[in-house]
Amino acid sequence: MHLTRFRINTARLGARSLLASPQRLHAAVMSSFAGAMPSGTDRPRTLWRLDRNAKAEVLLYIVSQEHPDLTHLVEQAGWPTTAAWQTYDYEPFLTGLRAGDTWAFRLTANPVHQIRRKEGEPTKRTAHVTPRHQMGWLLARQEAAGFRILTTPPERRRLPQGDEYQLAVRDEHRHHFEKTSPQGGRRNRVPLVTVTFDGRLEVTDPDALRRTLTQGLGKAKAYGCGLMTLAKAG
Q: Is residue 111 domain-shared with residue 77, that is, in the same domain?
A: no
The pLDDT value recorded for residue 130 is: 85
Query: The domain containing residue 199 runs over which residues?
Result: 100-205+226-232
62, 94, 126 - which closes a domain = 94
94, 110, 137 - which closes a domain = 94
For residues 155 and 153, give the distance between their C-alpha atoms in angstroms, rounded to a whole number.
6
CB neighbourhood size of 167 (10 A): 22
Residue 220 lies in a domain: no
Query: 76 and 18 in contact (C-beta within 8 Å)?
Result: yes
60, 94, 128 - which closes a domain = 94
**Average pLDDT per run of 10 along the chain, which is 234 residues long?**
96 93 92 68 75 90 95 95 93 97 96 71 72 92 96 72 82 74 61 91 97 94 94 85
Nearest CA to 47 among 2, 82, 16? Answer: 2
For residues 79 and 57, give the distance between their C-alpha atoms in angstroms, rounded to a whole number.
13
The pLDDT value recorded for residue 43 is: 46
The pLDDT value recorded for residue 36 is: 54
Nearest CA to 108 among 216, 232, 14, 185? Answer: 216
The pLDDT value recorded for residue 188 is: 66
CB neighbourhood size of 224 (10 A): 24
pTM over 0.75: yes
φ, ψ of residue 158 in degrees (nearest 5): -85, -25
